[in-house]
Amino acid sequence: MVSAVDTESSSSSSDVVVSAQHLVKVFRDFWRRPKVRAVNDVSFDIRRGEVFGLLGPNGSGKSTTIKMMLGLLHATKGQLRIMGRSPHDVHTKARVGYLPEESYLYPYLTSAETLHFFGRLFDLGKAERERRIDQLLEMIGMQHARHRVVGEFSKGMARRIGLAQALINDPDLIVLDEPTSGLDPLGCRQVKNLIQTLARRGKTILLSSHLLADVEDVCDRIAILYNGRIRAMGPIHELLEQRNRFRVTLPEELPAEQLQSILADLRARLADEPEVDHPRVDLEQFFLRIIEQARSESQAPSGTTPARDIAAYLSQDAGTPPSVLEQLAANQPQEESSRPPAPPEPEPATPDPAVPQPRDVNERLKHLTSPPPEE
């Protein structure tokens, strides 16, 4: 087991949004005999503004842990505090947004009615609900399906409505159980961007997934669960980084003789043969570029329309402008600089030279999701 269980001793307790200590959940049979120990001595803290990922295979205890956090299941042992209170406290629940693993919505309600219903559970006034629903539907690209009943939706569309209802109360803690399940790659990217944006706005996010790429893209810290126990936990870059190995990226268009010379020099200095290969583009980036190219040539797909800016009401730090994609674009260089430089992209998908190419993923996404040019 990787012993990266950090205690966050330096952070003040007021910064801890979720505190789970020695959590145990035993499911019992009809006769109250212990049947399954779904969660076994799990401890973790989640701090304010953090994106925390619960990672694990099916049946590892992710959803059970989440449901205990929401008061839907009772812990057999251990202590669980959400924002310093019991998870069963209605005041706690007023500050939590939850997207379950399946969107358990009322199939006969329209999108707007669904969001109104959940808005009313938070005692939001009609005008405020209308305002938030407009922004949320716009944000998830479902404005056109405002009056369509949820029962007619594809899984991806229902998922988007599920996500919108999780945000209707402008929650401080957002619990997302498999948020990208059922979404196409575009939708996945949008949701991941949204998670990052929400985190920037001070929201604390707990993400449960078995899709490793999702977790890697957005989480600050992760806990890997297996058989009800945490097997590894810590900041994602610390867990993944191999500190005793190095990768060297050479400039593009390096002449072959110069490369041979560098390799010869390396061979002379190292006992082992150095590994040399061509870098590969991330499949998601590749996919987005292909779709981008296709979009410039045709109409938008049916179903959802392109997602827009984040809902403006979702609380933000002072001084943050409301349009988040603009902010994203502005912030992107600093954001990108903290990550390893993207490898050069190979040839196969050549973008249309007539279409101006955005510089980064988020800009490209925004460009991608904008309405197609009139024919």
- The residue ranges that bind another protein (CB under 8 A) are 27, 67, 70-74, 88, 90-91, 93-94, 96, 98, 100, 102, 104-106, 108-109, 117-118, 120-124, 165
CA atoms within 13 A on the CB side of 353: 0
Write down the least CB distance from residue 26 to another protein, Å: 12
Closer of 72 and 266 to another protein (Cβ): 72
Distance set, CA 147 to CA 135, 169, 252 (Å):
15, 21, 52
**Helix or strand run (H / E) with residue 98:** strand 96-99
Closer of 133 and 365 to another protein (Cβ): 133
CA distance 242 to 106: 48
Write down the least CB distance from residue 101 to another protein, Å: 10
**Rg over CA atoms, the chain:** 23
The phi, psi pair for 93, rounded to 5°, reads: -65, -25
Q: Is the dihedral of CA 228, 24, 1, 84 positive or negative?
A: positive
CA distance 205 to 368: 26
CA distance 39 to 286: 39
Closer of 102 and 184 to another protein (Cβ): 102
Write down the least CB distance from residue 113 to another protein, Å: 9
Write down the least CB distance from residue 94 to another protein, Å: 4
Closer of 87 and 306 to another protein (Cβ): 87
In this structure, the dihedral spanned by the alpha carbons of residues 124, 47, 361 and 329, taken in order and rounded to 10 degrees, is 70
Closer of 123 and 252 to another protein (Cβ): 123
Residue identified by tokens 């590894």 is 232
CA 185 to chain centre: 13
Write down the least CB distance from residue 172 to another protein, Å: 13
Write down the least CB distance from residue 294 to another protein, Å: 36
Closer of 122 and 286 to another protein (Cβ): 122
